[in-house]
Amino acid sequence: MSFKLLPLLGALVLAAPAHAVSINMSDFSFAAPTTVNMQGTDGSPSYDGQAGRFSGTSDGGVPGSDLLRFGLIDDAATSSSFVAWCAELTQTFNFDVTYDYTLVSGLAHFGATKNDELSRLFTAAQGFVVDSNTSAAMQAGIWEIIYEQGPTFSLLGGTFKGGPEDPSAQGAFDTVNGFLMHLSDYAALARIDVLENGAQQDFLVATIPEPETWVLTIAGLALIGFLRRRRAR
Protein backbone atom coordinates (compact mmCIF):
# COMPACT_ATOMS: atom_id res chain seq x y z
CA MET A 1 0.00 0.00 0.00
CA SER A 2 1.37 3.43 -0.93
CA PHE A 3 1.66 5.79 2.04
CA LYS A 4 0.61 8.59 -0.35
CA LEU A 5 -2.90 7.18 -0.09
CA LEU A 6 -3.11 7.54 3.70
CA PRO A 7 -4.46 11.13 3.77
CA LEU A 8 -7.22 10.13 1.36
CA LEU A 9 -8.01 6.99 3.29
CA GLY A 10 -8.05 8.98 6.51
CA ALA A 11 -10.49 11.45 4.99
CA LEU A 12 -12.78 8.63 3.90
CA VAL A 13 -12.65 6.99 7.33
CA LEU A 14 -13.22 10.22 9.26
CA ALA A 15 -15.74 11.91 6.96
CA ALA A 16 -18.97 12.52 8.82
CA PRO A 17 -22.44 12.13 7.31
CA ALA A 18 -24.64 15.22 7.13
CA HIS A 19 -26.08 16.02 10.52
CA ALA A 20 -28.15 18.90 11.96
CA VAL A 21 -26.60 21.05 14.70
CA SER A 22 -27.51 24.39 16.29
CA ILE A 23 -24.64 26.80 16.93
CA ASN A 24 -24.08 30.26 18.35
CA MET A 25 -20.96 32.25 17.45
CA SER A 26 -20.06 34.58 20.33
CA ASP A 27 -17.17 36.64 18.91
CA PHE A 28 -13.75 36.53 17.30
CA SER A 29 -11.32 34.32 19.22
CA PHE A 30 -8.90 37.22 19.67
CA ALA A 31 -9.81 40.74 20.77
CA ALA A 32 -9.38 43.67 18.37
CA PRO A 33 -9.54 41.53 15.20
CA THR A 34 -7.32 42.59 12.30
CA THR A 35 -8.91 44.32 9.30
CA VAL A 36 -8.07 42.98 5.86
CA ASN A 37 -8.66 44.04 2.28
CA MET A 38 -9.13 41.06 -0.03
CA GLN A 39 -9.60 41.66 -3.74
CA GLY A 40 -11.33 39.19 -6.01
CA THR A 41 -11.55 39.17 -9.80
CA ASP A 42 -13.01 36.89 -12.49
CA GLY A 43 -15.88 35.84 -10.26
CA SER A 44 -13.99 35.65 -6.96
CA PRO A 45 -15.57 37.82 -4.22
CA SER A 46 -13.94 40.82 -2.55
CA TYR A 47 -13.99 41.68 1.14
CA ASP A 48 -12.90 44.63 3.26
CA GLY A 49 -13.38 44.17 7.00
CA GLN A 50 -12.36 42.27 10.11
CA ALA A 51 -11.10 38.71 9.71
CA GLY A 52 -10.06 35.85 11.93
CA ARG A 53 -11.11 32.75 13.81
CA PHE A 54 -14.48 32.65 15.58
CA SER A 55 -15.41 31.12 18.93
CA GLY A 56 -18.80 29.48 19.31
CA THR A 57 -20.90 26.97 21.19
CA SER A 58 -23.15 24.12 20.20
CA ASP A 59 -26.70 24.69 21.40
CA GLY A 60 -28.86 21.59 21.25
CA GLY A 61 -30.66 18.97 23.28
CA VAL A 62 -27.46 17.94 25.06
CA PRO A 63 -24.86 20.75 24.90
CA GLY A 64 -22.14 19.83 22.48
CA SER A 65 -23.53 16.40 21.71
CA ASP A 66 -23.40 16.80 17.94
CA LEU A 67 -19.91 18.26 17.93
CA LEU A 68 -18.72 15.60 20.38
CA ARG A 69 -20.08 12.88 18.11
CA PHE A 70 -17.87 14.05 15.26
CA GLY A 71 -14.80 14.81 17.34
CA LEU A 72 -15.01 18.62 17.15
CA ILE A 73 -14.97 18.99 20.95
CA ASP A 74 -13.53 16.75 23.65
CA ASP A 75 -16.21 16.51 26.32
CA ALA A 76 -19.84 17.56 25.98
CA ALA A 77 -20.35 17.25 29.73
CA THR A 78 -17.84 20.00 30.50
CA SER A 79 -17.75 22.13 27.38
CA SER A 80 -19.72 22.83 24.21
CA SER A 81 -17.21 25.37 22.92
CA PHE A 82 -15.40 25.13 19.58
CA VAL A 83 -13.63 27.38 17.10
CA ALA A 84 -14.39 27.85 13.41
CA TRP A 85 -13.49 29.91 10.36
CA CYS A 86 -15.44 31.69 7.64
CA ALA A 87 -15.94 29.25 4.78
CA GLU A 88 -17.52 31.70 2.31
CA LEU A 89 -17.78 35.44 1.79
CA THR A 90 -21.13 35.87 0.05
CA GLN A 91 -23.31 35.71 3.19
CA THR A 92 -23.20 37.08 6.73
CA PHE A 93 -24.30 36.16 10.25
CA ASN A 94 -24.73 37.84 13.63
CA PHE A 95 -22.89 37.11 16.85
CA ASP A 96 -24.93 35.82 19.80
CA VAL A 97 -27.69 34.45 17.57
CA THR A 98 -28.42 30.73 17.37
CA TYR A 99 -28.70 29.28 13.87
CA ASP A 100 -29.44 25.78 12.61
CA TYR A 101 -26.68 24.30 10.48
CA THR A 102 -25.93 21.05 8.72
CA LEU A 103 -22.55 19.54 9.56
CA VAL A 104 -20.95 17.89 6.50
CA SER A 105 -17.48 16.67 5.64
CA GLY A 106 -15.11 18.99 3.83
CA LEU A 107 -14.87 16.33 1.14
CA ALA A 108 -18.60 16.67 0.45
CA HIS A 109 -18.59 20.47 0.62
CA PHE A 110 -15.40 21.43 -1.23
CA GLY A 111 -14.57 18.35 -3.27
CA ALA A 112 -11.45 16.21 -2.95
CA THR A 113 -8.87 18.71 -4.26
CA LYS A 114 -9.76 21.74 -2.15
CA ASN A 115 -10.43 19.59 0.90
CA ASP A 116 -6.92 18.17 0.53
CA GLU A 117 -5.39 21.64 0.11
CA LEU A 118 -7.19 23.03 3.15
CA SER A 119 -6.07 20.02 5.17
CA ARG A 120 -2.46 20.68 4.15
CA LEU A 121 -2.73 24.34 5.19
CA PHE A 122 -3.95 23.42 8.67
CA THR A 123 -1.26 20.76 8.97
CA ALA A 124 1.38 23.34 8.03
CA ALA A 125 0.04 25.99 10.39
CA GLN A 126 -0.31 23.94 13.59
CA GLY A 127 0.41 26.31 16.46
CA PHE A 128 0.72 29.36 14.16
CA VAL A 129 -2.49 31.11 15.25
CA VAL A 130 -1.74 32.89 18.54
CA ASP A 131 -3.16 36.41 18.16
CA SER A 132 -5.40 38.62 16.02
CA ASN A 133 -2.79 39.12 13.28
CA THR A 134 -1.94 35.44 12.81
CA SER A 135 -5.65 34.61 13.04
CA ALA A 136 -6.50 37.05 10.24
CA ALA A 137 -3.61 35.76 8.13
CA MET A 138 -4.84 32.18 8.52
CA GLN A 139 -8.35 33.23 7.51
CA ALA A 140 -6.94 34.93 4.41
CA GLY A 141 -5.11 31.71 3.56
CA ILE A 142 -8.33 29.71 3.85
CA TRP A 143 -10.12 32.13 1.53
CA GLU A 144 -7.21 31.98 -0.91
CA ILE A 145 -7.61 28.22 -1.26
CA ILE A 146 -11.39 28.43 -1.55
CA TYR A 147 -11.59 31.30 -4.05
CA GLU A 148 -8.39 31.33 -6.12
CA GLN A 149 -9.22 30.20 -9.64
CA GLY A 150 -5.67 30.12 -10.94
CA PRO A 151 -3.27 27.16 -10.86
CA THR A 152 -1.25 28.37 -7.84
CA PHE A 153 -1.94 29.98 -4.48
CA SER A 154 -0.55 33.35 -3.42
CA LEU A 155 -1.97 36.28 -1.47
CA LEU A 156 0.07 38.55 -3.74
CA GLY A 157 -1.49 37.70 -7.09
CA GLY A 158 -4.06 35.70 -9.03
CA THR A 159 -7.85 36.03 -9.01
CA PHE A 160 -7.96 36.43 -5.21
CA LYS A 161 -5.36 38.36 -3.24
CA GLY A 162 -4.96 40.85 -0.44
CA GLY A 163 -3.49 41.60 2.94
CA PRO A 164 -3.86 43.48 6.21
CA GLU A 165 -4.64 47.19 6.41
CA ASP A 166 -2.22 47.49 9.33
CA PRO A 167 1.38 47.04 8.07
CA SER A 168 2.40 45.52 11.42
CA ALA A 169 0.42 42.40 10.50
CA GLN A 170 2.17 41.89 7.17
CA GLY A 171 4.73 39.46 8.60
CA ALA A 172 1.96 37.05 9.62
CA PHE A 173 0.48 37.22 6.13
CA ASP A 174 3.89 36.59 4.57
CA THR A 175 4.23 33.45 6.70
CA VAL A 176 0.84 32.12 5.58
CA ASN A 177 1.73 32.97 1.99
CA GLY A 178 4.80 30.77 2.41
CA PHE A 179 2.57 27.91 3.55
CA LEU A 180 0.29 28.45 0.54
CA MET A 181 3.13 28.44 -1.97
CA HIS A 182 4.52 25.17 -0.59
CA LEU A 183 1.38 23.20 0.29
CA SER A 184 2.69 20.09 -1.43
CA ASP A 185 5.48 19.91 1.17
CA TYR A 186 2.94 19.13 3.89
CA ALA A 187 0.82 16.04 4.54
CA ALA A 188 -2.96 16.34 4.57
CA LEU A 189 -3.47 15.26 8.19
CA ALA A 190 -6.23 17.67 9.27
CA ARG A 191 -9.87 16.68 9.00
CA ILE A 192 -12.01 19.41 7.44
CA ASP A 193 -15.72 19.74 8.27
CA VAL A 194 -18.17 22.45 7.23
CA LEU A 195 -21.25 23.88 8.94
CA GLU A 196 -23.63 24.70 6.07
CA ASN A 197 -26.58 27.10 6.09
CA GLY A 198 -28.31 28.33 2.95
CA ALA A 199 -29.11 31.76 4.41
CA GLN A 200 -26.14 32.48 6.71
CA GLN A 201 -22.39 32.28 6.36
CA ASP A 202 -20.91 28.78 6.28
CA PHE A 203 -18.16 27.86 8.76
CA LEU A 204 -15.11 25.63 8.45
CA VAL A 205 -13.95 23.48 11.36
CA ALA A 206 -10.54 21.80 11.23
CA THR A 207 -9.53 18.93 13.51
CA ILE A 208 -5.93 17.71 13.60
CA PRO A 209 -5.69 14.20 15.12
CA GLU A 210 -3.16 13.57 17.86
CA PRO A 211 -0.01 11.74 16.64
CA GLU A 212 -1.03 8.54 18.42
CA THR A 213 -4.32 8.55 16.47
CA TRP A 214 -2.46 8.42 13.19
CA VAL A 215 -0.18 5.67 14.48
CA LEU A 216 -3.26 3.59 15.30
CA THR A 217 -4.82 4.40 11.92
CA ILE A 218 -1.69 3.35 10.05
CA ALA A 219 -1.40 0.20 12.14
CA GLY A 220 -5.04 -0.65 11.47
CA LEU A 221 -4.64 -0.16 7.73
CA ALA A 222 -1.52 -2.30 7.76
CA LEU A 223 -3.40 -5.06 9.58
CA ILE A 224 -6.24 -4.92 7.05
CA GLY A 225 -3.71 -5.24 4.23
CA PHE A 226 -2.03 -8.20 5.94
CA LEU A 227 -5.35 -10.02 6.45
CA ARG A 228 -6.37 -9.45 2.84
CA ARG A 229 -3.08 -10.87 1.60
CA ARG A 230 -3.58 -13.97 3.76
CA ARG A 231 -7.09 -14.47 2.41
CA ALA A 232 -5.83 -14.10 -1.16
CA ARG A 233 -3.38 -17.01 -0.75
The residues that bridge with 207 in the sheet, in sequence order, are 191
Could you give the 3-state DSSP secondary structure of residue 30?
coil
Amino acid identity, residue 161? K
**Beta pairing class for 160-164 and 191-196:** unpaired
Q: Tell me the average pLDDT across 194-198.
A: 95
pLDDT for 177: 98
Could you give the 3-state DSSP secondary structure of residue 104?
strand
State the sign of the Cα–Cα–Cα–Cα dihedral 67, 68, 74, 77: positive
Report which secondary-structure segment, H or E, holds 1.
none
**In angstroms, how far apart are the furthest CA atoms of the chain?**
65
Q: What is the pTM of this model?
A: 0.80
pLDDT band at 21 (very low <50, low <70, confident <90, very high): confident
pLDDT for 229: 58
C-beta atoms surrounding 3 within 10 Å: 9
Q: What is the 3-state secondary structure (H, E, C) of 194-218?
A: EEECCCCCCEEEEECCCHHHHHHHH
pLDDT for 131: 98
The answer on pLDDT for 24 being more than 60 is: yes
pLDDT for 208: 85
The residue ranking higher by pLDDT, 15 or 223, is 223
Residue-averaged pLDDT of the chain: 83
CB 52 within 8 A of CB 143: no
User: What is the Cα–Cα distance from 91 to 105, expressed in whole angstroms?
Assistant: 20
Q: Tell me the average pLDDT across 15-23.
A: 72
Range with lowest mean pLDDT among 73-87, 88-102, 119-133, 160-174: 73-87
Residue 88: alpha-carbon gap to chain centroid: 12
pLDDT for 59: 63
The residues that bridge with 231 in the sheet, in sequence order, are none
Amino acid identity, residue 157? G
